Chains A and B, each alone.
Chain A
Amino acid sequence: MDSLFHRLNFFRIFFYLRDLFQIILTSFYDLGTILLKRRSYIPLLLQQILSIGFDAIPILTIVGLLLGMGTVAEAGLELPKLGIQNLVGTIIIHIILRIVGPFATAMVVIARSASAISVDIGNMRVSGELDTIEMLGVNLSFFLITPRIFGVLISTMALTFYFAICSFTGGFLMGLFGLSMPMVSLIESLKTSLTLTDLLVPLMDSAAFGLIIAAVSVYHGLSVGQSPNDVPRETNKALVNAIVLCTLVLTIIQIFLIFA
């Protein structure tokens, strides 16, 4: 009985992931249709990018600056003790650009947008608006799902690089004023450490995180039934599952990079 229970759970996870993939693939197909045939939906996409991306800028600026300052302060104090102060640039790039930047941005997007999307769609289900939109003949995916999926995807990718810029700025400020590190050597150290991979990895990370966050929040928004109690329950699930899946993907990408 126990093993049957575990097998059922395994299948539930499998079906869950399959549904997420289905949402992502359908929205890619629908994006093509929107761009080629249904251009009246394009403003909805831009609106989502604005509301998800631009509104997150203040909080990301603060988090990015503080994180950059903290990382450089730690590196600037501890690395000279080990005699590897010339690795400050490499360490900052690896930590901020490749790991912490994309992940911290994803966490901010989850906190701000995953919950908002899930609650928004869930409330529309409870109030009957989703049925109304469908019965009016408007495609639910074009109107509601695809703009949100690509709004989150594009915003997460753009915000990740914005976050890195803020972190580097914070790091420079800390290096310059807090640690009295020579600015030229810090920039030189960053320049020599920065490779194309360092730019491609955060791009890949943020794209994966964006798709996961969007698909998970849309899935749980649509999973809301007729009861208003379903909305907080599904939102909670969306947040937890998005965090777990993003962490899992980050780990998989890092392991892949080690072996590659």
Chain B
Amino acid sequence: MTQEPLLDLDNATFLPVGSDGPQLSSVTFAISKGDHTYILGKAGSGKSLLVKSIMGLIPLATGRYMAFGRSMKDPDNLILHYIRKKIGLLPENGVLINSLTIRENLVFPLKYLNQNKNERPYERIDLILAEHQMEKIADLYPYQIGVNAQKSIGLLRAMLFSPALLILDDPYEGLDQDGIRLFHQYFQDILQNQHTTILLFSRKPIQPTGIFKRSLLMERDKTFRDAENEKTNFLVFPEKI
């Protein structure tokens, strides 16, 4: 029995509201459960645009885009809410909300998205913070902590609802060696639960061993195609950095 892909884009073109023309066109790409994917692209190659398009922030103009079996052509709020809850996201910019403390940043999705009224969000977050030895920074604001900690908190927040798909947009940006090591450790933990599939976009060819099953290359002004279907734009990274 073949599994339905988590994301399925076929010749999709995305047109940002108010823009003169499409900034991302002819995207053909699919990702299924367990299909951990690493996409490498230089700055300006359209990685963040693709992430925003996947999340439904940039409307689909032509082609086909299915997310978790739902068509993303003019999706209503219910569909958007459904897929955004299924996808855990670590964005490139604005990882955390600056006006909220670290604890409030983590509580944020639980408070405003969770339908479970019996859950006590602050208690759950305090447990998570204690588990990751981050209790000390709970009451600090994002600007008071380093990039490693900010991105780690962002990743913890992305994993709060045990998403089916975890999208990481340039997670290595600004991280030092410790941060990168920590992230690779998180990836190993995520792999162990076998529920979440990782889709990582990066401008740096840093790839941990034995995590990603396939690697793709994204280039500006070139058609972005799934390497398994088309043998173009495929890049195999060395096993070790």
Contacts and interface: CB of A to CB of B under 8 A. Distances in A.
Nearest to B111: A40
B109 interface: yes
**Looking at B91, B97, B99, which has the most chain A CB atoms within 10 Å of its CB?**
B97
Interface in A128-158: 128-139, 142-143
B10 interface: no
B98 A127 contact: yes
B137 interface: no
A120 B95 CA distance: 17
Interface string B88-129: 010111110111000000001101110000000000000000
Interface in B9-61: 52, 55, 57
B79 to A, nearest CB: 11
Interface in A207-237: none
Contacts of A138: 108-109, 112-113
Nearest to B121: A40
B91 A132 contact: yes
A129 B94 CA distance: 4
Contacts of B93: 127-128, 131-132
Interface in B57-96: 57, 80-81, 84-85, 89, 91-95
**Looking at A127, A128, A133, A137, which has the most chain B CB atoms within 10 Å of its CB?**
A137
How large, as a class, is the contact surface on chain A?
A: 20 to 34
Given A137-B80, A137-B84, A137-B85, A131 B91 contact: yes
A40 B85 CA distance: 18
A132 B93 CA distance: 8
A124 B85 contact: no
Contacts of B109: 136-138
Contacts of B97: 124, 129, 132-133
B96 to A, nearest CB: 8
A41 interface: yes
Contacts of B89: 132, 135-136
Contacts of A41: 112
Nearest to A132: B94
Nearest to A41: B112
A135 B112 contact: no
A18 to B, nearest CB: 16
B5 to A, nearest CB: 20
A135 B97 CA distance: 13
Given A120-B99, A131-B52, A137 B91 contact: no
Contact of B108 (A120, A127, A136, A142): A136
A40 B94 CA distance: 23
**Looking at B52, B55, B85, which has the most chain A CB atoms within 10 Å of its CB?**
B55
Given A137-B80, A137-B84, A127 B113 contact: no
**Looking at B92, B94, B108, B111, which has the most chain A CB atoms within 10 Å of its CB?**
B94
14 contacts: A40-B111, A41-B112, A120-B99, A127-B98, A128-B94, A129-B98, A131-B52, A132-B93, A132-B95, A133-B97, A134-B57, A136-B108, A137-B81, A137-B113
Given A136-B108, A137-B81, A137-B85, 9 more contacts: A38-B112, A124-B94, A128-B94, A129-B98, A131-B52, A135-B55, A136-B89, A139-B112, A143-B112
